[in-house]
Amino acid sequence: METNQDPTKSPLSDPDGRLPMSIFAPSPRDLADRFAPTVYQKLPQVKETYLAYVVAIRDPLNLHLDIYWTPEMAERYSSAIRYDYTFVSEELSPTVHVRPAYSCHLRGVEIIQSAPNDFSNMKEAYIFMSKRILRSGGWVIVSVSDIDVYRRVLVNVFDVISRDSLNRELLTRVSSRTGNVIAKEYTRPIRTKSMFNPQDSQRDYHIIYENRK
């Protein structure tokens, strides 16, 4: 896959036909610099999960995702920040494709910083997320939630192979330097606290994706 990101940045590679994938991209605020923060958009909770491709990793909590959801869901999230990216595939026709990438934020996770200039936990979280995403060639499964004040889609991200929640794994991951957890659960004060459990029931979660010919 070729993206419209800065080609001078270090790429990730995807072995199944999309080459290369950039891990650097404009931040959600860069993408939305023409817009002031808006109101938090509470959307109906759905149990469906969707196949998604990681177009870029801004930081451990902010991903740009190409989500293979239904047209109805795309319309529901039409107010979220997104941009078009291009990729080249040897397996699909035509060769060059254009698809939307959504600015997404991991739901309910906050990286712990012991001091304003201490980014050690952020670095460990970044390495963890990058390795997990690379392991599956850039593909993940996501469940979607609300749209935050920066118009990012709040997501729970699952490993496409094991179905483990990467949100939950970040919350339980221990720093190799300090021996303490690197993240904590973040819950908006006005919302009910909820945890991540993608394997409650085989009937509750299933993949939905649009098969485009």
CA 201, distance to chain mean position in Å, is 23
Structure confidence by residue, pLDDT tens digits, 72-122: 999 999 999 999 999 998 887 878 899 999 999 999 999 999 888 889 999
* pLDDT computed for residue 32 by the predictor: 47
CATH assignment of the domain containing 143: 2.40.50.90
* pLDDT computed for residue 84 by the predictor: 97
The answer to whether residue 86 sits within a structural domain is yes
The answer to whether residue 36 sits within a structural domain is no
Residue 57 near residue 63 (C-beta atoms within 8 A): yes
Rounded Cα distance between 107 and 148, Å, is 10
The answer to whether residue 208 sits within a structural domain is no
Total structural domains within the chain:
1
* pLDDT computed for residue 85 by the predictor: 96
pLDDT of 195 above 50? no
* pLDDT computed for residue 93 by the predictor: 80
Residue 69 near residue 209 (C-beta atoms within 8 A): yes
* pLDDT computed for residue 11 by the predictor: 36
Residues above pLDDT 90, as percent of the chain: 60
Structure confidence by residue, pLDDT tens digits, 172-189: 999 988 999 999 999 876
* pLDDT computed for residue 26 by the predictor: 53
Structural domain including 98 reads: 49-185
Structure confidence by residue, pLDDT tens digits, 67-80: 999 999 999 999 99
The answer to whether residue 179 sits within a structural domain is yes
* pLDDT computed for residue 199 by the predictor: 47
